[in-house]
Structure 1
Amino acid sequence: MMQVFLYLHVLGAVLMGFYLMLPFLAARVSALPTGAGQYGFLHVLFALNRVGQLALVISFLSGGYLVGKGSYPVVWMVLAVVLLLAIGALSGIVGKRMRLALADPSGSKIKEQLGSIRTLSTIIGILFFLTITLMKFPNVF
């Protein structure tokens, strides 16, 4: 059973790897021609954000099982939970900003939401990088 949960945990982490690319992809939105091009690209990013959120839930639950079967420092467990919850919260906020930007199919509302999407995606990318680093070195604490 441990191998199944480890597989789910790693699969979730691989799917969340999108958050490392999200800051660069969000920066590309403004380089596209306004209108349908930006709308379509942002719609894809919105769908990938949903996949990342699902992967976050899978990793969180499978990680809870794995932590229960192992011996990890309490500081490491608290940091892992805080980082994953922060990624979940910020990805939800980015999803709302994307949804607001996609409210008009002509793409006219994208420009007003793009700054916050880019900023939040950068923070999510940094938090995910810190999470991966923390997961790789659990016994440093």
Structure 2
Amino acid sequence: MLDFILYLHVLSAVMMGIYLLLPFLAQRVQALDSTTAQYGFLHVLFAMNRAAQFALIIAFLTGGYMVSKAPYSILWMVLSIVLFLAIAALSGIMGKRMRLALAEESGSTIPKQIGSIKTLSLINGILFFVVLTLMNFPFMR
């Protein structure tokens, strides 16, 4: 059972790898020539963010199960939970900004929201990198 949970946990971590790519992809939205291309590309980024949010939930649940089976330090557990919740909150805010940018098919609302989307994606990428580092070097009791 633990092997299956670990498999789900690693699979969800791979799916969350989009958070490392999203800052670079969000930079490309403004470089596209037409607003329809920007709209289509941002729609893909929105779908990728949604998939990563579901993966984040799976990683949180499977990680919670695995933590209950091993002696991790309280500090490590608190840091892990806080970082996961920060990623969840920021990706939710970023998803709302993307929905607002995609509100009109003409793409006229994209320039108003793209700055915050790029900033939130960068912060999420940094936080996910910190989470990966923390998960690879856990503090044991």
Work out the CA distance in 2 between the residues paired with 1:82 and 1:75: 11
Q: 2:90 maps to what in 1?
A: 90
RMSD of aligned C-alpha atoms? 1.0
- Per-residue CA distance 1:90-141 (angstroms, 9 max, x = gap): 0000000000000000111000000000000000000000000000000278
Q: 1:64 maps to what in 2?
A: 64
Work out the CA distance in 2 between the residues paired with 1:139 and 1:123: 24
- AA partner of residue 130 (structure 1): V
Equivalent pairs: percent with the same residue?
65
- AA partner of residue 87 (structure 1): I
TM-score, normalised with respect to structure 1: 0.98
Per-residue deviation, 1:34 = 3.2
Task: Could you tell me which runs of 5 or more consecutive residues in structure 2 were left unpaired when the two chains were aligned.
Answer: none
Work out the CA distance in 2 between the residues paired with 1:60 and 1:36: 36
Work out the CA distance in 2 between the residues paired with 1:93 and 1:122: 13
Work out the CA distance in 1 between the residues paired with 2:139 and 2:35: 50
Task: Could you tell me which runs of 5 or more consecutive residues in structure 1 were left unpaired when the two chains were aligned.
Answer: none
Paired residues in the alignment total 141
Per-residue deviation, 1:35 = 1.1
TM-score, normalised with respect to structure 2: 0.98
Q: 1:79 maps to what in 2?
A: 79
